[in-house]
Amino acid sequence: MTDYVSLQDVTKTYRMGEITIKAADGISFDVQKGEFVIVVGPSGAGKTTVLNILGGMDVATSGKVFVDGAEITKYRGKKLIQYRREEIGFVFQFYNLMQNLTALENVELAMQICKYPLDAKKVLEEVGLKERMNNFPAQLSGGEQQRVAIARALAKNPKLLLCDEPTGALDSETSVQIMELLKEISKDKLIIMVTHNPELAEKYSNRIIRLLDGKVVDDTNPYDRNIVEPIENKKGKEKKAKKPSMSYLTALSLSLNNLMTKKGRTFMTSFAGSIGIIGIALILSISSGAQLYIKSVEEETLASYPISISRNSMDMTSMMTSMMKENKSDGTDDGKIHSNNIMGNMVNSMLTQLKSNDLKSFKSYLENDEGLVRGLF
């Protein structure tokens, strides 16, 4: 066996105004792999505080905490979150299961945040829920719900399993069943458990640590560094990260359950989305309608002014230009009155600018060019 968890002079203080409370006052102990350690003591002794510090849910005021050779008291931010997700499994007194998910889905959901997950169905079978994995928490007894909570913690494949009063909400018979299960699990996982029940601690653990007023007052089987081989800082081969998997059916079921559970939010989201879609559709409809209306007005307006093609035509621009050139003064002023045959010049220009259109050729052109005809009409 090797030293796995070590608390060295750990303190935790809380300030409430001018009052300072010491929840942990210099706690020190070492735990080896393969042990089933139970921490006992009255309320306020510091049991849960120790568990929270070990699990990364709280930070020690002073002292050092080592887990598998790593000093977790130095962890902050994302590093601390990663430690909680990948290396620690929690079992709480009141299960904390998602009521709208089945037992299997509760376990699979926890697997999504860890690095080396185990098979959810296999873990549920190991805790005795092979026939109940598709049941919802409300369909399970208290003991079965706690088994689901234990399976959820184990499926993460944690280095350390922390149990905070796992039998506190159970009857005596069910408590014994849960303790038997934890004892079996402790053969492969290091378990540190907190309880108020000294009888269960005496019967099932191989080591009991008693706390009082934030201090260790008794340890039934303390770790002696002088007789146990020293810690070997061997780094095992890194496991190849297994990508957490979830079946498509389970993922779909989780999504539908989430939608049905939060009907109000789902309705509001759908309503807001519908308003947006309807608004876009209205804008497009109004725009299209306006374009069609403008086109129809243009067609009606142009229809009232039909195009007429005559055999003879007159180039009015050329006629007016010619007349203006002829009637332009030569710039001399001799004091005499000169006649200017305006009407004669106009008639002459009209006759000169009169042209004949080749309607026969134009008709043939239109008849032979169907594309042009379609374009005109």
pLDDT digits over 328-365, tens only? 555 555 566 655 566 666 666 666 666 677 777 777 77
Q: What is the pTM of this model?
A: 0.60
The residue among 152 and 114 whose pLDDT is bigger is 152
Residue 11: exposure state from Cβ atoms within 10 A (0-12, 13-18, ≥19):
middle
Query: Does position 234 have pLDDT exceeding 50, yes or no?
Result: no
Quick one: pLDDT at residue 319? 62
Q: What is the dihedral of CA 141, 143, 149, 152, to 10 degrees?
A: -90
Quick one: pLDDT at residue 227? 47
Nearest to 37 by CA among 193, 225, 231, 160: 193
Quick one: pLDDT at residue 1? 43
List pLDDT tens digits, range 271-308: 888 898 998 998 988 988 888 888 888 777 776 666 66
Quick one: pLDDT at residue 140? 92
Nearest to 127 by CA among 193, 178, 187: 178
List pLDDT tens digits, range 126-157: 888 888 989 999 999 988 999 999 999 988 88
Q: If DSSP codes are grouped into helix, strand and coil, which group holds residue 70?
A: strand
Query: Does position 238 have pLDDT exceeding 50, yes or no?
Result: no
Flag the least confident range among 93-102, 260-269, 287-296, 342-351.
342-351
Beta bridge partners of 11: 25, 62
The CATH code of the domain at 3-261 is 3.40.50.300
Our CA angle for 220, 223, 227, nearest 5°, is: 125
Quick one: pLDDT at residue 347? 65
List pLDDT tens digits, range 167-208: 888 888 888 888 999 988 888 888 999 988 888 888 888 899
211 C-beta neighbours (distance < 10 Å), count: 24
**DSSP sequence for 146-214:** HHHHHHHHHHT--SEEEEESTTTTS-HHHHHHHHHHHHHHTTTSEEEEEES-HHHHHHH-SEEEEEETT
